[in-house]
Amino acid sequence: MAKKNALIQIEQPIRQIQDKSLFDRVQDFLTEQEWEFRSNEDRGYFSFNLRLRDGSVRVVVDVAEQENWSRIMAYVIYPTLVPELKRPELAQALARINYTHLAGQFEIDLDDGEMRVRSIIESDGYLGEKLIDRALRRATDMAEQFQAILLSIAFGTTKAQDILKMTGHEDRGPLQ
């Protein structure tokens, strides 16, 4: 019996044949969800309104793709602008939330009071339906989970230091 020795090139990247662009895959995903959306292929984004438990939000999905790199960035934007006097308190609350979350983050524009959630998935491989769903779900789930409590800080008397207790999250401290 003859012995065969074959060399395998393990340094070469595995390539997956992409029949559609990332923009087209995101468009297909949104269509399958039966969401009404607007798109701009030249600028690489989609936008739509979404009803959450405590109110409506605007969602923007930004896609970028090059030969060996892809990115989906989902923004969930709250429709209410935070009053100027409450922005420092709200910024502190968002910092407390961000400190306890591994993925996804809250942002506030301190100039106009716009508040939003952002999640990003970036890869040097293929971004399929599961990762598209994960990017959108991460941002929308976080926005829904914290919407009421953030509004109670922006327009009520709730304090930033109480936000984690009120949402059932514990401040676990830094990773060491």
Question: Which of 104-108, 145-149, 159-163 has the least mean pLDDT?
Answer: 159-163
In the chain, pLDDT over 90 holds for what percent of residues? 64
User: Which pLDDT score is estimated for 23?
Assistant: 95
Query: Mean pLDDT throughout 164-173?
Result: 63
Query: Mean pLDDT throughout 12-34?
Result: 80
Residue with tokens 């044949």: 17
Q: Count CB neighbours of 130 within 10 A.
A: 9
Q: Is the pLDDT of residue 73 over 90?
A: yes
Q: Is the pLDDT of residue 79 over 60?
A: yes
Q: Count CB neighbours of 22 within 10 A.
A: 21
Contact between 160 and 153 under an 8 Å Cβ cutoff? The reply is yes
| 135 vs 19, more confident | 135
Residues 160 and 7: their CA atoms lie apart, in Å, by 60
pTM (2 decimals)? 0.80
Contact between 124 and 69 under an 8 Å Cβ cutoff? The reply is yes
User: Which pLDDT score is estimated for 18?
Assistant: 53
In the chain, pLDDT over 70 holds for what percent of residues? 84
Q: Is the pLDDT of residue 172 over 90?
A: no
CB-count burial class (<10 Å; 0-12, 13-18, 19+) for 67: exposed
Q: Is the pLDDT of residue 174 over 80?
A: no
User: Which pLDDT score is estimated for 175?
Assistant: 47
User: Which pLDDT score is estimated for 15?
Assistant: 47
pLDDT tens per residue across span 107-144: 999 999 999 999 999 998 888 899 999 999 999 999 99
Q: Is the pLDDT of residue 149 over 60?
A: yes
